[in-house]
Amino acid sequence: MKIGSKVLLCAIILLVGLSSFIFTGFARKGENCNSSVLKEQQQPLSYFNIYRGNTHSHTIFTWTHGAHRVDGMTDLSSPTEFHPDWNVPQGIDWRDYSTISLNPEEYTNRQGLPANHYELAIENGYDFYVVTDHTQEPSLQPVSKNNPVWQVMLRTADEFNKYPDFVALAGFEYSRNTTAKGGRGHINTIISTEYVNADHGQRGPAPPWPEANWSIPQFYNWVKSAKPYQSNGYVVTGFNHPQPDQFNDWDHIDDEIENLISTFEIHTRYNKIRWEAYIRALNKGWKVSPIGVLDNHGINEIIELPPPTIVLAPELTGEAITRALRQRRTYASWNEEGELRYAVNGFIMGSTLDSTDIFNFHIEIKTPATKPDERVRRIRILRNALDGSDDVEVVTEIVSTGNKDKIVWDPVIEDHSAKYFLLQIHHANDLTENGDFNPHGSTISSPVWTGR
């Protein structure tokens, strides 16, 4: 009987243990309850390749504005003319979106179809490229997963995924341009089967169908149930070009949506950094990793600018790239080359750690000899401000004056209250004439969250 009770007790403990493992994934706050994710996050740094692409772009399906027009349309009833330099495909009428040609060969400059964007991305060395047209555009009405333009976007991505060494993805930009009902802001969602529209009549009367006019809290609820297209990969959602108080000053956060919104557009076309907004979002509890994007409304940027979105993934597939974006394995850099990888307590950047007070960093940064301006000059580890103010503070830093291709740094930090750590890297091109560093550096890593 004694042995029997022990067995029963062990079985109960095992069951409780198993259920807490299944439902909480080692009680890792806000993380995916998935042991394969935890296993991947603990792979050595060498397991992760660096891929470069663009997760935000607009084609001719963003009909009302872009490189094909002289000016953007403010009202659908007052269309603006096509740009005089645009080689207009035969039969397209600037007043009528239903005349858009679906033959990519007819587009030769300024703007084109998703196929034209993907072709140029391949030619210009992009590893991945995402088309994310605005869903309030007339071409995407009425909102339906069977909408012919949405179907063209999905099918074109399928076609271009047949090319080797390239990943094509379709998504959309949800654009809420009013502060009513939960705030203002734009959000990208990638590879969802369906899409929704935030239109509130911004270019004419609000459309009557119920899928339009979705507020930000409604949209967050929709994200919680969004399914990946053809069940392949992960639906990725991120904040676009945020201002410091957008998204109702970062309101409407809960554990589920915090886990699902994973990226933050810290630069657009390598323009200035959205530092204040980024730190405010992090300090309000959002777990978002920094990305750069083009947000191009035409094709020229693909030719003129290096791919801005940088992802750490084991292989170049749609599944691996979307998993990396969902797991926050990104960093943003204003430099063209160089590679940043780091882990804390054996977990790769973007992870959330088990509660601990000791943090063993392992940081590796490579820069090529061909880019002397991109050599590392300072690495800083930052955390949220100790006094609770809306800021960060420097935990520790090293300065580097050498000319090494690879810098490895393994600091150990004891800390009892940080919510996250992230890396800020200053390169040679961040030094001003009087020898100071520019304030923000030019490489910003994804954080590691402490689980507090």
Which positions lie near Zn ion, rule CB under 5 A? 173, 186, 240, 295
Minimum separation from the CB atom of position 187 to Zn ion (A): 9
Q: Between 240 and 352, whose beta carbon lies closer to Zn ion?
A: 240
Q: Between 119 and 295, whose beta carbon lies closer to Zn ion?
A: 295
What is the Cα–Cα distance from 440 to 452, expressed in whole angstroms? 26
Q: Between 268 and 317, whose beta carbon lies closer to Zn ion?
A: 268
Minimum separation from the CB atom of position 241 to Zn ion (A): 6
Amino acid at 33: C
Minimum separation from the CB atom of position 188 to Zn ion (A): 8
The closest of 258, 261, 194 to 228, measured between CA atoms, is: 194
Q: Between 199 and 295, whose beta carbon lies closer to Zn ion?
A: 295
What is the Cα–Cα distance from 40 to 379, expressed in whole angstroms? 26
Q: Between 74 and 230, whose beta carbon lies closer to Zn ion?
A: 74
Could you give the residue ranges of the DSSP H alpha helices within 178-317? 216-223, 246-250, 255-260, 275-283, 300-304
Q: Between 129 and 359, whose beta carbon lies closer to Zn ion?
A: 129
Q: Residue 396's CB: how many other CB atoms inside 10 A?
A: 13
Minimum separation from the CB atom of position 226 to Zn ion (A): 19
Minimum separation from the CB atom of position 335 to Zn ion (A): 24
Residue nearest to Zn ion (CB): 186
Minimum separation from the CB atom of position 319 to Zn ion (A): 25
What is the Cα–Cα distance from 96 to 89, expressed in whole angstroms? 13
Minimum separation from the CB atom of position 329 to Zn ion (A): 23
Q: Between 175 and 424, whose beta carbon lies closer to Zn ion?
A: 175
Contacts of 47 (CB under 8 A, 6+ apart): 314
Minimum separation from the CB atom of position 173 to Zn ion (A): 5
What is the Cα–Cα distance from 335 to 333, expressed in whole angstroms? 5
Decide: 118 and 307 in contact? Cβ < 8 Å. no
Contacts of 46 (CB under 8 A, 6+ apart): none
Minimum separation from the CB atom of position 175 to Zn ion (A): 6
Assign 335 to helix, strand or coil: coil
Residue 358: burial class (beta carbons within 10 Å; 0-12, 13-18, 19+): exposed
Minimum separation from the CB atom of position 58 to Zn ion (A): 6
Q: Between 173 and 194, whose beta carbon lies closer to Zn ion?
A: 173
Q: Between 134 and 280, whose beta carbon lies closer to Zn ion?
A: 134
The full DSSP string for 383-427 is EE-TT--SSEEEEEEEE--S--SEEEE--EEE-SS-SEEEEEEEE
Residue 230: burial class (beta carbons within 10 Å; 0-12, 13-18, 19+): exposed
Q: Between 186 and 323, whose beta carbon lies closer to Zn ion?
A: 186
Q: Between 202 and 345, whose beta carbon lies closer to Zn ion?
A: 202
Decide: 120 and 299 in contact? Cβ < 8 Å. yes
What is the Cα–Cα distance from 124 to 111, expressed in whole angstroms? 16
Minimum separation from the CB atom of position 60 to Zn ion (A): 14
Residue 315: burial class (beta carbons within 10 Å; 0-12, 13-18, 19+): exposed
What is the Cα–Cα distance from 149 to 102, expressed in whole angstroms? 9
DSSP 8-state assignment for residue 350: T
Q: How far is CA 151 from CA 64, 157, 168, 321, in A?
A: 20, 10, 14, 22
